[in-house]
Homo-oligomer: A and B are copies of this chain.
């Protein structure tokens, strides 16, 4: 008779318990390890077929199986994998099959491996769909669209044989110096929470009642838990000094929302929070995340907690050795390690009494649960094929996100959309103008030549007949080489309008050196952003500033488009450009989306998910600071250059006075398109508590809704309110209703909310 754990009709918990009882300690420890880089598990033979490496054999021998394998499909400058050596859409499933079959053959009990892949903005594998980075997703303020894109990414992952998706979602961008700002949904906890929910829904879909995932859905590992967006100085994986209330109010809501939405797993962050490293933070992982305390003190999470890469071994700094580091992490709530040595010695840790086998069992149960929920015991190889139209669908979703994220920051004298009667000669200039290579974001796999659309190509394609388009690069993203500027100036001077495409880059090249965790260590030219690349000054490269000066000095009206992974501090662009847009990293088809907006084929709809600073000296500039009525620095304004929530359209909107429904359960606002073009208003509801138990923030975003209106059209937007939506983190960190009256302010940006007519909602405590 087949053992219970083999019975797909049995409840998952029973299957887990049955299997666990049959396992040796050595086998159990194997389940908690995710040691190898996936690209070390295979090599490509001269005939083009994959074969398994000795390294994989050694790993599966060591623990008689394999818990999880990281990055089997990954291809990038760090892994060194490219189209000549790695698995693509066609060969990926076969490679996954090969590895899985080997694991199953080595495993006495037939426990399949988990294949864990990076999916920060689409699946980071060869020929998979690259989406705009999270910061661009934040700028869409469109969870529904993002949900569809996430769903597509999950289907691509599963179709390749991958299982578990690593996705940045929880980091809140509080310091744009941080190179991973691009991986954040922005500075606001509410916006990040709504997008995190969309991510979980999109990737995981409707989970069966028994807890099984559909075969085209992928359990998500939400990264990173917690507080990594607020490390000191914006320094990657440095300390965070945050107090628990700051953590609860700003850095935990996205995680809480993701857990409530059913996220399968969470990754503990590198950083420590007020002295406690997240990978050794029992109160955070076992207490808050997994606990079942009253109210909001424990979230009752039952999923998996993975450590970030080598974060367990780093704990040896305080424990003295890696064995005790592994024990500390496991005791603190880490289930699955990533590349660490520490977790390989857990059997020794049990023998030394540093950890009990019951703690090992609990972690193994969570790994096995995920494998059962994925159906891997029934279908270890089966991967649903994608429909032939899948690539086209991916491109459409990526382009739609790009289109929705591009944000018009200013538009003096209506320079945009480009009036073909006024502007027939266009100069397209700048280091981002004729390439997509620097607009893809960190982690991205090598692209096949011809993938994507540059701004130049898209303008050539979409501009009305008769438009003359000239191009000059002008300069590189970094460095001070000014030799290309005269040509750019001549090009601009000979044109009616210059489109100047500037910004930063997270592109890695084969020359990049990496830390053992994949963060860039030494910088190659043109790399200004991404993991390991923090900026102090937030400036564009010196030649870009010179190019901006020179091109605008020609007197030709200049539209500046910034392609970037963080808001750079370039107030000159705001001053000198006729119009200024930010496209963040818009992905391969960003050029198309940008051209459409420049030409007015579509109206800009993006809104800033992060405040744009005037300079690094005035940091921080997030809108939701405490209500301390700070005036100004003596030498500089303390307010940002552009506010959170800001973004212009090609029309104008007027909002009526908010109308609070009975019992304060909802709020209605009438919105009118008072301009002459269609457009989308992203209606933002902020609160300003008047009575509180703790010191309040000036404003807090608590709801938003988009409405598309034709010229002259009027619509009503309804926001649900109510106690839960107006809850605050109380004195003892519990969620509690506001103790008294609160102002409701509905506006087009946080800055606008300061001037909006407030409506006071009285809350009877």
Could you tell me which A residues sit within 8 Å of B by CB distance?
Answer: 177, 179, 230, 232-233, 235-239, 241-247, 249, 272-277, 317-320, 521, 523, 527-528, 533-539, 615-620, 625-628, 630-631, 633-636, 638, 690-696, 729, 731, 740-741
Contact = CB atoms under 8 A, between A and B. Distances in A.
Contacts of A731: 276
Contacts of A534: 633-634
B527 A628 contact: no
A155 to B, nearest CB: 36
Contacts of A537: 615, 617, 633, 635-636
Contacts of A230: 241
Nearest to A272: B695
B695 A318 contact: yes
Q: Which 6 A-B pairs have the closest CB atoms?
A: A243-B274, A239-B626, A616-B617, A275-B694, A536-B636, A536-B617
Contacts of A536: 615, 617-618, 633, 635-636, 638
19 contacts: A230-B241, A233-B630, A235-B638, A238-B628, A239-B625, A241-B243, A242-B274, A243-B273, A244-B244, A245-B276, A272-B694, A276-B694, A319-B691, A523-B634, A527-B634, A535-B634, A536-B633, A537-B617, A616-B617
Contacts of A319: 691
B628 A237 contact: yes
A245 B275 contact: yes
A177 B638 CA distance: 12
The quantity of this chain's copies bound in the complex is: 2
A229 to B, nearest CB: 12
Contacts of A318: 691-696
A317 B689 CA distance: 10
Nearest to A522: B631
B630 A244 contact: no
Contacts of A690: 320
Contacts of A634: 179, 523, 527-528, 533-535
Contacts of A692: 318
Name the residue among A273, A319, A628, A690 with the largest chain B CB count within 10 angstroms. Answer: A628
A345 B589 CA distance: 66
Nearest to A527: B634
Name the residue among A274, A275, A618 with the largest chain B CB count within 10 angstroms. Answer: A275
A319 B693 CA distance: 8
Contacts of A241: 230, 241-243, 246
A230 B694 CA distance: 19
A620 B232 contact: yes
Nearest to A528: B634
A239 B249 CA distance: 14
A535 B535 CA distance: 21
A669 B610 CA distance: 53
A636 B534 CA distance: 9
Nearest to A234: B633
A634 B529 CA distance: 9
A579 to B, nearest CB: 27
A691 B320 contact: yes
Nearest to A622: B232
A617 B568 CA distance: 13
Nearest to A249: B275
A630 B320 contact: no
Given A179-B634, A235-B630, A242-B243, 12 more contacts: A177-B617, A233-B620, A233-B630, A235-B628, A241-B241, A241-B243, A245-B276, A276-B694, A320-B690, A536-B617, A536-B635, A539-B635
A243 B232 CA distance: 13
A237 B620 CA distance: 15
Nearest to A692: B318
A617 B620 contact: no
A622 to B, nearest CB: 9
